[in-house]
């Protein structure tokens, strides 16, 4: 096993990996930008190295600076986490060229599956169905127009070099195509340094289901079941579950076998995720893309299967055989994860950076918090606004939802606006409770909220009316010393506080 590992990331995933290092007796090294000097991941590591100024392009994305830091501290390996350089083949090559081990797949596998167009070709070669569309990048707008007319609207334009919703546009008719094409190209170039796009037929109201795979250097490839990732905003996931509410063992087997085939075709090693679109009505699934790294939502798989995926990543990178076989994998109970963002759900999830002046995280049975912040942490404008992940486990999905509600009620973050109030409402939503999920869930959820949500004026009037009503029906109450006090005053305060809680939730 490795002696020292540099964690090439920040925030909650860096803290998660550092904890994994500590359990295995590995010394951990954090990297940080000048803006992150006081961050939690820096304090958690055994050593820390500054790799540049606040801009991620000059720090966390600076391949030369990160690699040089690992060499300087005499690390044996680099774990990239997710995001930043995690799926950058040039970074993987730079790490190995420096004589270090990259905790992840080979640069060749990363390149092959990192390009969405070549990944689609691999799926076809593996006999895995793909959404009808192009398998090569579009050469021009004219080709996009001709292809869209061939498959019929609606269609999806997608960046060939990356995911996460960047460079992605839904086009419902020919009038929208040119604007969407140009905007998607610009966004893809800014996010990935590559403006190439491809086009797919849009699947109506699909579920987004992904399969976790793991492979070692000895030819073993297994899957750990599915995660339901349909609840998304701007094509980015915000709530994930394991297993899917569909919970169909035969479907899990078929999707798992398809994912394993792709892993075998690419000679994959380490943790990877095969993403699919699933038609809820027909149970037909289509390959979407592969993420050649650990996923944000890996905790729900860990909670249900009992396997530590970060520990397994280190084992595989060190050349060891997987610690489990396909027959060893069992799915026990149900887990749900909420990504806690410093965002304002009432303002289209607009980022809400600032100082966290008070933080109380939930605890108790079945609760897991992967956090990158503490009280008095500064949430920077320079990086992704996710500050933590709340994951819960229950014996059933119903029990997991009940536990989720309790945990969300306990969770308090003061100083910044977060997505916690949004999650509290979702946890009470009838469609969510019934497991009626697809990628359009949030849009429909917001429509339902608008139908029932009272205006601020109505809430204030209700509070005033409650106060007047109770003041009219005051009854004298005497304290032990004989002093008369007003019961109505306390009842008014209680009712007003209840209304404020309802308003906030």
Give the ranges where 2-127 is alpha helix by DSSP (H): 11-23, 40-44, 63-72, 89-97, 107-114, 116-125
181: nearest Cα among 154, 132, 131, 145:
145
Centroid of chain to Cα 12 = 12
DSSP 3-state of 343: strand
- Dihedral sign for Cα 382, 385, 386, 387, please: positive
Report which DSSP code applies to 303: H
* Per annotation, catalytic residue among 169, 293, 339, 368: 293
Tokens of 255: 């999707």
The CA distance from 100 to 365, in Å, is 40
Catalytic annotation present for 448: no
Residues 206/439, Cβ–Cβ less than 8 Å: yes
31: nearest Cα among 61, 5, 60, 2:
60
Residues 383/333, Cβ–Cβ less than 8 Å: no
- Dihedral sign for Cα 154, 160, 165, 166, please: negative
The CA distance from 358 to 416, in Å, is 10
Sheet of 169-171, strand order: 169-171, 155-159, 197-201
Q: Which residues are catalytic?
A: 293
């Amino acid at each position: 096993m490795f002696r020292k590992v540099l964690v090439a990331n920040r925030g909650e995933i860096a803290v998660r990996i550092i904890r994994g290092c500590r359990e295995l007796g590995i010394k951990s090294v954090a990297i940080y930008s000048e803006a992150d000097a006081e961050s939690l991941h820096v304090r958690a590591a055994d050593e820390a190295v500054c790799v540049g100024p606040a801009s991620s392009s000059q720090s966390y994305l600076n391949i030369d600076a990160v690699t040089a830091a690992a060499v300087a501290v005499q690390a044996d390996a680099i774990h990239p986490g997710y995001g930043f350089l995690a799926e950058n083949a040039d970074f993987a090559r730079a790490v190995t060229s420096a004589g270090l081990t990259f905790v992840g797949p080979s640069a060749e596998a990363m390149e092959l599956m990192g390009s969405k167009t070549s990944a689609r070709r691999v799926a076809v070669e593996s006999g895995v169905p793909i959404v009808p569309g192009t398998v090569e990048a579009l050469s021009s707008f004219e080709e996009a127009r001709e292809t869209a007319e061939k498959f019929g609207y609606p269609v999806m334009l997608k960046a060939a070099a990356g995911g996460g919703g960047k460079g992605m546009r839904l086009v419902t008719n020919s009038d929208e195509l040119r604007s969407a094409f140009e905007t998607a190209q610009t966004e893809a170039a800014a996010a990935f340094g590559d403006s190439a796009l491809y086009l797919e037929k849009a699947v109506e109201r699909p579920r987004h289901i992904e399969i976790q795979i793991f492979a070692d250097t000895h030819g073993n490839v297994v899957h750990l079941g599915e995660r339901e990732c349909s609840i998304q905003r701007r094509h980015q996931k915000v709530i994930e579950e394991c297993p899917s509410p569909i919970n169909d063992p035969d479907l899990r087997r078929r999707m798992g076998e398809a994912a394993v085939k792709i892993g075998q075709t690419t000679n994959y090693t380490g943790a990877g995720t095969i993403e699919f679109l699933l038609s809820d009505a027909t149970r037909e699934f289509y390959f979407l893309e592969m993420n050649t790294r650990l996923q944000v939502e890996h905790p729900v798989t860990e909670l249900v299967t009992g396997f530590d995926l970060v520990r397994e990543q280190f084992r595989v990178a060190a050349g060891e055989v997987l610690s489990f076989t396909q027959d060893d994998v069992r799915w026990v109970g149900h887990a749900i994860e909420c990504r806690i963002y410093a965002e304002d759900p009432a303002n289209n999830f607009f980022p809400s950076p600032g100082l966290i002046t008070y933080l109380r995280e939930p605890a108790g049975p079945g609760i897991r918090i992967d956090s990158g912040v503490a009280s008095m942490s500064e949430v920077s404008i320079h990086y992704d606004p996710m500050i933590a992940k709340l994951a819960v486990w229950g014996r059933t999905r119903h029990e997991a939802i009940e536990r989720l509600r309790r945990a969300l009620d306990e969770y308090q973050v003061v100083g910044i606006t977060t997505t916690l109030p949004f999650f509290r409402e979702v946890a009470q939503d009838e469609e969510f409770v019934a497991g009626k999920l697809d990628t359009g869930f949030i849009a429909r959820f917001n429509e339902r909220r608008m139908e029932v949500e009272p205006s601020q004026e109505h809430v204030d009037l209700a509070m005033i009316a409650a106060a007047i009503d109770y003041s009219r029906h005051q009854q004298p109450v005497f304290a032990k010393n004989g002093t008369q006090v007003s019961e109505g005053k306390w009842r008014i305060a209680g009712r007003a506080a209840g209304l404020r809680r309802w308003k906030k939730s």
